[in-house]
Amino acid sequence: MNLLFKLLSTGLTIGAGIAANKVLDAAWERGTGKRPPKDLDDPENSLRAALTFAVVSAAVAAVIHVLAGRGASHAAARFKKNRDEV
Total domains in the fold of the chain: 1
Amino acid 7 reads L
Per-residue model confidence (pLDDT) at position 70: 85
- The full 3-state SS of 8-72, as one line of letters, equals HHHHHHHHHHHHHHHHHHHHHHHHHCCCCCCCCCCCCCCHHHHHHHHHHHHHHHHHHHHHHHHHH
Report the candidate in 43, 10, 30, 49 with the shortest Cα–Cα distance to residue 2. Answer: 10
Q: What is the per-residue pLDDT for 25?
A: 94
- pLDDT grade, residue 24 (50/70/90)? very high
Q: Identify the pLDDT of residue 85.
A: 58
| C-alpha to C-alpha distances, 71 to 50, 63, 65, nearest whole angstrom | 31, 12, 10
pLDDT digits (tens, 9 = 90+) for 39-57: 877 788 888 888 999 999 9
Q: Which domain holds residue 81?
A: 2-85
